[in-house]
Amino acid sequence: MGVLGFRLELREVRLKRPEFDLKRGLVRSPLLPWAPVEIDSSRVLPAIAREAPLGPDIVQWMHVAASDVAVFDAMSAKYNECGGKLASSSGDPYIPGVRAGDLRGESVSGYVVRERGYGTVITPVGSFNVPVRGKTTFAMRDILAWAALPDPGTWVQWVLTLLQWLELAKAPIRERIGFASSQGLVAPNFFSIPATPAPVRTLRIGLTSDKSQTVVIRGRGTKGSYHNVLFEDSFKVEAGESEVIYNVFGVPFVGDFTLEIAPSDNTQTILDYLEIFPPF
């Protein structure tokens, strides 16, 4: 499906091998280098609890926030190695507050969040809400963001996790980047696809998944028009390493666009590579 002169065609989905490796090429969080290499923050929680057991100075929400920091900081580090700039943060928006890039959580208590069923993220181009134990992708003008609310707390404090893509990494991407998740709530990732003078651009996407799942792919406008959805599709992959090939058609040529890749929740997924043809 496509609009604004873009048309998408799925050419092939191929399982290359059923085996999968969820750690190769990934990195530890630079902020929490003692945390293990993981994609899903729920798998980091035991290490957080061992490092900082609950006590007078450590409470439950800190464990949840620290586990999110571990996986999203690592995701940001890999993304930034590819030439982009991804800001991430997790913490309590009420006290002491949480911010990432141009985003900040609304400073209200956990009472308020639990009562109304959502938290609010404030951006320079407007606010958006994140449901309790849910996630939201926000794309408006030059703001491209994602947030999760994994823990509404049991008292005053709660947990909000923020991502903002300040600068997009440009294809081709040849480093493995994990799609980090907040307690199973999987974040998407975004990449800049440069224009080509040809009427067709081929995308070759390598993905590793720990289980069968459906992945959503979208083409968005470039910075300043991220809210414009140019095309959208979905495809299924099996557990293991897969390759997906799409053709993107444009009239009279394929202009530059932003590619969004969004795996399903409760999966562990890695982008192995993103190749483009023609390569200019």
Tell me the fold of 6-20+168-277.
Answer: Jelly Rolls (2.60.120)
CB 11 within 8 A of CB 246: yes
How far apart are the C-alpha atoms of 153 and 149, rounded to whole Å? 10
pLDDT tens per residue across span 234-243: 999 999 999 9
Name residues whose C-beta falls within 8 Å of residue 2's C-beta, 6 or more positions apart in sequence: 8, 219, 230, 231, 249
How far apart are the C-alpha atoms of 152 and 117, rounded to whole Å? 9
Is residue 23 predicted with pLDDT exceeding 80?
Answer: yes
Is residue 2 predicted with pLDDT exceeding 90?
Answer: no
CB 39 within 8 A of CB 20: no
Report pLDDT for 5. Answer: 73
DSSP classification of residue 186? E
What are the tokens at 188? 């998407």
- Residue ranges covered by each domain of the chain: 6-20+168-277, 41-167
Report pLDDT for 106. Answer: 98
- Mean pLDDT estimate for the chain: 96
Q: Which amino acid is at 87?
A: A
Q: Residue 29: beta bridge partners?
A: none
CA distances from 148 to 145, 162, 258, 277 (A): 11, 7, 22, 35
pLDDT tens per residue across span 103-137: 999 999 999 999 999 999 999 999 999 999 999 99
Report pLDDT for 279. Answer: 81
Taking the CA of residue 78 as centre, how many other CA atoms within 13 Å lie in the half-sphere pointing to its CB? 27
Report pLDDT for 3. Answer: 40
Is residue 20 predicted with pLDDT exceeding 60?
Answer: yes
Q: What is the band of 154 on the pLDDT scale with cuts at 50, 70, 90?
A: confident
What mean pLDDT comes out for the span 68-90? 98
State the maximum Cα–Cα separation within the chain, in Å, rounded to a whole number. 65
Q: Which of 100, 115, 104, 94 is nearest to 157 (CA)?
A: 94
Three-point CA angle 20, 22, 23, nearest 5°: 130
pLDDT tens per residue across span 242-255: 999 999 999 999 99
Q: What is the band of 216 on the pLDDT scale with cuts at 50, 70, 90?
A: very high
Report pLDDT for 189. Answer: 98
Percentage, residues of the chain above pLDDT 70: 98
How far apart are the C-alpha atoms of 149 and 108, rounded to whole Å? 14
